[in-house]
Amino acid sequence: MRRLRTEVGIVGAGPAGLALANVLARAGVDCLVVERSSRERVETRQRAGLLEHRTVRWLRGQGLADGLLADATRHGWCDFRCLGHTVRVDYGAYSGGREHWVYPQQRLVSDLIGTLEKAGPPPLFSHTVRAVTDVASRRPRLKCEGMEIECDYVVGCDGFRGVSRAALPATGHRVHNRRYPYDWLTVLAEVDRPAEGVVYAVHPDGFAGMMPRGPRISRFYLQCPPDDSPDAWPAGRIVKELRGRLAGALPTIGALPEVRMLRMRSSVTEPLSHGRLLLAGDAAHVLTPSGAKGMNLAIADAAHLGTALVNRLRHGDGRALASYSSARGADARRVLGFSEWLLGLLHLPNETGAGGPRAELRERLAAIRRLAEPGPESAAFAHRYVGSGAEDGPDDPPG
């Protein structure tokens, strides 16, 4: 049995775990990231792609944004299509010039791995943590096949079904789950030109969306009945539905390297800690892609935890660590509220009123137009959508 010792053991090499590890390593805190997948898998898996204003500001402040500052594209507007109308919402103008940065998650992850290799020990790839034990003691442990890692603190960044959440006690924690009455078919498609911006379509056949990911690839979404199967969606049907629902100028769609069904759920766990185990990212909260908040919320968790653990381990100040669960839980609920509000705007109810679907669509179109007009409603949407941090002060970093 190989035995290792570290101050902070981090389970999972996603954006949250890697961002946290970089902060700790640069502060001289010994940490070790353990990841079950190979490095190749981690650096190529396609996930999110929109970084909020406050996320980029924090990454830049930590010296972790060189790649995205050099290569990312910026977007400050989105289009809503409804009843044959296209309404452009210039959220950059209504939020004081703040914009999204389009930078695929796998590229950010690759950047974070590279900087971590220069500052501290690289992640242990292809090592599966089988159990997180002794979390209520002063020396929690990560148990892997043939290896045990003794830690001062463990941070679980290994997702909703990871072993970190399984280490929480059966009592004393609440998990707020919600299952939505539809699913999304998520499609990664090769395109002949980049998507100029995010496009949302409210349509009687169901929501559709187009998200930029790079010069020759875009992410598309199609609303489907709950528990639908991707096998029911051949390429021809996908392209036909996208063109019908998005109903406007679209890039030419070529090969579809990824087609999968996203079960639309959300989940928030409270509290986010037990003993010396702390949860971050999808291990703490799962959001739908609505509003592109998941990766940004995960990095915000890492921002808070980085400061908190450095203060505790290097300066003996545990106040930020003690407030982690309440502060991050409140932010997760706030972000979830916005995500659900946007879902409500984009999806028609199963049972429409006396006027039928067309009356519902007229109401949606009126609400969308209010977001495009100067005023308090459009300003509030813009700040929450772009993640300006204005809710807590315009210059606050995430967390």
Tell me which fold the domain 183-262 belongs to. D-Amino Acid Oxidase; Chain A, domain 2 (3.30.9)
Q: What is the pLDDT of residue 379?
A: 96
**pLDDT score for 393:** 33
Residues forming a β-bridge with 129: 144
Q: 50 Cβ partners below 8 Å, 6+ apart? A: 75, 100, 101, 102, 198, 211, 292, 296
pLDDT given at position 397: 35
Tens of pLDDT, residue by residue over 176-189, are 999 999 999 999 99
Give yes or no for a contact between 140 and 133, defined as CB atoms under 8 angstroms apart: yes
Shortest CA distance to 246 belongs to which of 192, 215, 298, 203?
203
With 0-12 / 13-18 / 19 or more C-beta atoms within 10 angstroms meaning exposed / middle / buried, residue 249 is: exposed
- Do the beta carbons of residue 302 and residue 24 sit within 8 Å? no
pLDDT tens digit sequence for 375-399 = 999 999 999 999 987 543 333 333 3
- Asked whether the beta carbons of 12 and 313 are under 8 A apart, the reply is no
Look at residue 246 in the predicted model and tell me its pLDDT: 95
In which residue are the tokens 């935890």 written? 305
Does this model's pTM top 0.85? My answer is yes
The string of pLDDT tens digits covering residues 220-275 is 999 999 999 999 999 999 999 999 999 877 899 999 999 999 999 999 999 999 99
Confirm if 332 and 267 have CB atoms less than 8 A apart: no
Where does CATH 3.30.9.10 sit in the chain? Answer: 183-262
Residue 174 has pLDDT above 50, yes or no: yes
Per-residue model confidence as pLDDT tens digits over 204-220: 999 999 998 888 999 99
Give tens-digit pLDDT for 26-63: 999 999 999 999 999 999 988 888 999 999 999 999 99
The tally of CA atoms less than 13 A away on the side-chain side of residue 28 is 5
User: How high is the pLDDT of residue 352?
Assistant: 65
User: What is the CATH code for 2-49+104-179+265-341?
Assistant: 3.50.50.60
Residues of the chain with CATH 3.50.50.60: 2-49+104-179+265-341
